[in-house]
Each structure stands twice: as structure tokens, then as C-alpha cells.
Copies of this chain bind each other. A is one copy, B any other.
Amino acid sequence: MQAQDSNNDRISPLGALSGLLDYDMKAVNALIIEHMQSDVPMIPQLASYLIAAGGKRIRPLLTLACTKLYEGDMGRAHRLSAAVEFIHTATLLHDDVVDDSAERRGKPSANAVFGNEASVLVGDFLFSRAFQLMVADGNLDVLRILSDASATISEGEVLQLATQSNLDTTLDDYYKVIKGKTAALFAAACEVGPVIAGQDDKTITATRAYGMALGMAFQIIDDVLDYAADQETLGKTVGDDFREGKMSAPVILALQEADDEEKSFWQRTIADRDQTDADLAHAQKLIEKHDVITKGMALARIYTKQAQDNLPKGSELATCLNALCDYVIDRNY
């Protein structure tokens, strides 16, 4: 992973973090490949298709960083980082089935290539593998943290499904959705670090709060980018959320400022899901008109500020984790 800021040639905080944890990420990647093996050939085929497609590996990096920050056992962190990435990969597979996505990370999605059936079942397999890795670690606190996160993720996903196409969805409803579907796993990925390092409750709570707030900001920006980003840079199909009628931050913010004509537009496209080819461009125009990107970034910044307030000072890793917050806002991937 050589994540570089495409605006200039400096290494991004994500790249810096990957650099500091290069040895550990290699160990995690080896564990991921080892544990996605199975006697049933379709499982490693599908899993490696998705995992080889790349992705930022931000969640396992957080587990590694938060373990190293508190001088925990890195061997255990490797295993648990792989578990965290498996949980994430399982939810991606199931998400793409739920959203009927055609692309993921700029490639045809796994469900488009292997079928929905295989995606559901291999998702289940990876989820089970995650638990096997946690059981091998043997710490019940970690098992509790990650099984709680898993339950919360599916609650967030179901809530998202329930708010789909519902124009009455508030920003608070939206926050509940993304807290479940995204921030809960960021929080758990971070919390695992000080837990296996045997830190006190105050440190554990702060590290968890860092991950939770970072995850909130990450998802808000992700949702904003779905209306703003250049498709090729983003490496995913722009406009997916619009086509699926998702009540994400940009739509909620644009609706707050909408006149009657604009309200009819959102009613037709998001609530009634009656869309033409020209509608995405018009939606993006409304998003621009009401300065929604800037507003969304401001909301995300409230969370990254929270995240930064929960970090210790001083070490190179802490500095990276701090810079990562700003990077999450400024990224254009």
C-alpha cells in the first residue's frame, strides 16, 4: 500500500501509517491469505478476488497502530487485525448483494462475477473465520468487543434499509445508521489495541472514542464523495447511493434547503426511485448549489476534532493517527 496524496507527492498519513507498520501489515496479509483457504475452491477464489482488489486496509491498520501505541503483543494484534478485516470483508460481500452493486473498488463486484449466492455464503464463511481467529487469541474481552460490533453493524445496515427512500430521515437517523454500519467497527478495531496491551479503562475508552469518531467522519466523507468525486479517482461507481435511494448526508442536507421544485425532484428520484439518466447530474447540481459538500465536510470535522481530542500526544504513531483524521476529510478517494 503506497497511498499517496494525489495533489502533491508527499506521502499521506495513511501511507505513513502503512510505512511505520509495514512489517506488521505484511504479517496480517499473510494471515488473511492463510485463513481464507478452504478445501472448497470457490471460497479462496471469491475471497481473494475481493481481497486482492485492494482497499485501504484502514481497519487492521488501526488495530495494529492502537496496539503498538500501547506496546501490546504484536503477534496477537496481527491475528486480531486479520479478524477485523475479515468482518469488514464479510460485510462488504453482503452489502454488495443487498445493494445489488455492479462495481467495488473499480472492478466488477464479487456478486456480479460469482453470483449473489456465493457472495452471501463466502461472507458467512469469512465471518466465521473471523471468530475462529478471535477464539485462537482466546481473550473474552476481545471476543465481546468484536461480537458486539458485528451485531451493531447488522443493526446499522438494517436501519439503513428501513430509512431507504424515506425523505423524512433526519440527520440523527443518519448518524445512527453510520454509527452502526461503519463507526462501530472502527471503534472496535481501535479498542482491541489497548485491551490486549492491558491498559486501564480510561485509555481503552479514549481509544474506542477515537475510532468511533474517526469512523463517523470517514463515512460522512464517503457519502459526500458519492455525489462529488470523480468516478475514476474514487475507484467506485459514483452515484450508487443516489440510484439506491439511500438517505445519506448529502440528500438530507440538500433537502433542508430545497424549494418546492427541488423537493419534487428528490421525491421522484429518491422516494419513488423513478430516475432517468440525467438525474444524477441534476442531483449533483443541487448538491453544489446548496454547498452541501462543504457542509458535509464541516459535519465530519466535528467528529475528527473529537477523535483527535482522544489521542495521546507525543509519539510518531499518535502523530500519524492525528494526521489521519485530517486526511480522512481531505482525501479524494
Contacts and interface: CB of A to CB of B under 8 A. Distances in A.
B120 A97 contact: yes
B147 A128 contact: yes
Nearest to A147: B131
Interface string A81-93: 0000000001100
A91 B158 CA distance: 17
Given A97-B120, A124-B150, A140 B131 contact: no
Contact of A40 (B40, B122, B125, B155): B155
A144 B134 CA distance: 9
A128 B151 contact: yes
Nearest to A141: B135
Copies of this chain assembled into the complex: 2
A127 B22 CA distance: 33
Nearest to A99: B117
Contact of A122 (B121, B138, B143, B154): B154
B124 A157 contact: yes
A305 interface: no
A42 B125 contact: no
Interface residues of A, number: 43
17 contacts: A38-B155, A40-B159, A41-B162, A42-B158, A43-B158, A91-B124, A94-B121, A97-B97, A97-B116, A116-B116, A118-B158, A122-B154, A123-B124, A124-B157, A129-B151, A132-B144, A143-B143
A300 B41 CA distance: 28
Shortest beta-carbon contacts, A-B, top 5: A128-B151, A125-B154, A128-B150, A131-B147, A124-B154
Interface of A: 38-43, 90-91, 94, 97-98, 116-118, 120-125, 127-129, 131-132, 134-135, 138, 140, 143-144, 147-148, 150-151, 153-155, 157-159, 161-162
A146 to B, nearest CB: 8
A128 B131 CA distance: 10
A87 to B, nearest CB: 10
A270 B134 CA distance: 41
A90 B155 CA distance: 14
Contacts of A42: 158, 161-162
B125 A155 contact: yes
Contacts of A151: 125, 128-129, 132
Contacts of A125: 151, 154-155, 158
Given A40-B162, A127-B127, 5 more contacts: A122-B154, A124-B150, A124-B157, A132-B151, A134-B147
A143 B136 CA distance: 10
Contact of A94 (B120, B135, B154): B120
